[in-house]
Structure 1
Amino acid sequence: MIEYLLSVAMAIGPALGYIDQYFIIKRQQSSSGFNPVTCAILLFSNIVRIFFWFGKRFDTTLLIQSAVMILTQSVLLETVVRHRSSPEKHESEPFKGQKRPRWYETFWQWPHYLDYVNCLLGFTTVVGVAYVLLGKLPWFVETLGIISLGIESTLPLPQCISNFKTRSTTGFSLIVLATWFLGDAFKLFYFIYTNAPLQFDLCGAIQLSIDSMIVMQSILFSTKVKTWLGTHPHPDKHLYESIP
């Protein structure tokens, strides 16, 4: 019974926090506080992980987790793109006489959701063909695991960098952060408990370390702490400055 509950929690738990992020974006009519690269990391890594599962056949719970996460991120990504602010939507469109940006400079910054879908379908096709040709080679299967978990281990990194640049965590769901931190701690325990492949253990440890940094950012960049440290302007300051 306990193992069954652990499996259910492992399968759907990581995706639950993104439901709150979805409603935050819908409520604010803006996705500016959420980094869409998070969706990219989860989509690409879980697509590769599914092929890794076919080659190694580890715990089925992790396969279900990947399927649930792909569905969740696909819905969230559509919402992120739909509610992206106008400057972000058109930042990849060059002005007259302006040098056209290279493809990697605008990757995952497209204005239409269909562009993301086509990218994911193309990526899945390439990995699928490679698996059909090389899937029986042990080194190829292990490489899939390294790629999948290597990508996933960077999951919190874009948000961490974004928070550092803006010195703010406004618009980023604290429930997502709690899901990351508690979920990654639980995942690391689950991986060790179920003797999952080594790639999973390393991924969990890296993610938990970055999660801890974002927790610190949420504390240090909060309004109360900024005011206490003197790095956040007092709400009356601008009022006094505007009086001649």
Structure 2
Amino acid sequence: MDMGVDMEEEVERSWSLLSWVASCVMVFGGVVPYVPQYQEIQRTSNTEGFSTRVCLVLLLANILRIFFWIGRQFELTLLLQSVVMIVTMLAMLHLCCSIQSTNRVSTKQHHITDLDLRYFWCWSGFEDYLIFCFAFTVLCAFVTFLFVDSGLFVETLGSLAVLFEAMLGVPQMVQNFQNQSTRGMSVKMVLLWTAGDLFKMTYFVVNESPAQFWVCGTVQILVDVAILLQVFYYGQEARIKLG
């Protein structure tokens, strides 16, 4: 009898440890693919292989997800993941702005205060991106405060959050197509993206997260596969030209 109880306690402890590890991976795993990209940009002083619109998509998605959590409290792990991702994207933007400022030939600069939509998200200073994020957050806070008691609003907010996140890889995929190149990207990096999205998908299903999350996960995996095919295709073309 005691042996059975001890076995149950051991299984329970193991499961708790596994759950804790899974939560840590969920919080920090999403930023892992950006570490080699950050290092590559630093090393080469070239931002050509990275689309800052990825930062835009992730910032919007995670800010909206935080307000979705206020209206419908799901796992705290997913809230912490959003905070970590926002910090990571701001770090990527700061690096890109620093590199572009150093490499800039023209003295003409563009700022958010110019109110010129032609240069939206192509501003010269990091502070412009901070102003945009602050303004967007204040707007979301105001609207959420007004409609937080509406179930329809909260669910719509969640759907918008995951819709932005589901489109995460699309700006990168479009940039690759326009450049006819995946310079700055590697199979290893894209595989890390895909593995991370597969893990997230599994986490959403196991933890019975809101349906919006696993729909988002499915779309992200499909986009990851498309980008992986681009890396193979354009990489092969580059080798043929060099050969």
Sort the TM-score into its range (normalised by shorter chain).
0.7 to 0.9
Amino acid at match of 1:37: R
Structure 1 segments, 4+ long, off by >4 Å, are: 87-93
Alpha carbons of structure 1 residues 227 and 86: separation in structure 2 relative to 1, 3 Å: closer
Offset of residue 142 of structure 1: 0.6
Q: Are 2:85 and 1:69 equivalent residues in the alignment?
A: yes
Offset of residue 105 of structure 1: 2.3
SS at match of 2:32: helix
Tell me the number of residue pairs that the alignment of Structure 1 and Structure 2 aligns.
223
State which drifts further: 151-160 or 174-183.
174-183
State which drifts further: 76-85 or 189-198.
76-85
Offset of residue 89 of structure 1: 8.5
Equivalent position to 1:82, from 98, 108, 123: 98
8 Å Cα contact 1:24-1:173 kept in structure 2: no
Amino acid at match of 2:91: V
Gaps of 5+ in 1: 94-100, 235-244
Equivalent position to 1:157, from 165, 170, 173: 170
Offset of residue 217 of structure 1: 0.9
Alpha carbons of structure 1 residues 227 and 104: separation in structure 2 relative to 1, 3 Å: closer
Give % identity: 32
Residue in structure 2 matched with residue 186 of structure 1 by the alignment: 199
- CA distance in 1 between counterparts of 2:38 and 2:166 reads 22
8 Å Cα contact 1:153-1:206 kept in structure 2: yes
Residue in structure 2 matched with residue 97 of structure 1 by the alignment: none
Amino acid at match of 1:86: R
Residue in structure 1 matched with residue 68 of structure 2 by the alignment: 52
- 1:50-199 to structure 2, matched below 5 A, reads 50-84=66-100, 85-86=103-104, 90=108, 103-172=116-185, 174-199=187-212
Equivalent position to 1:36, from 16, 39, 52: 52
- CA distance in 1 between counterparts of 2:39 and 2:109 reads 25
Equivalent position to 2:237, from 211, 222, 226: 226
Offset of residue 103 of structure 1: 3.1
Offset of residue 179 of structure 1: 2.6
Offset of residue 13 of structure 1: 0.2
Q: What is the TM-score with the length of structure 2 in the denominator?
A: 0.86
Residue in structure 2 matched with residue 2 of structure 1 by the alignment: 18
- CA distance in 2 between counterparts of 1:140 and 1:36 reads 29
The answer to which structure has the higher helix fraction is 2
Equivalent position to 1:26, from 19, 42, 46: 42
CA RMSD of aligned residues (A): 2.1
Q: What is the TM-score with the length of structure 1 in the denominator?
A: 0.85
Alpha carbons of structure 1 residues 88 and 48: separation in structure 2 relative to 1, 3 Å: farther
Alpha carbons of structure 1 residues 216 and 108: separation in structure 2 relative to 1, 3 Å: same
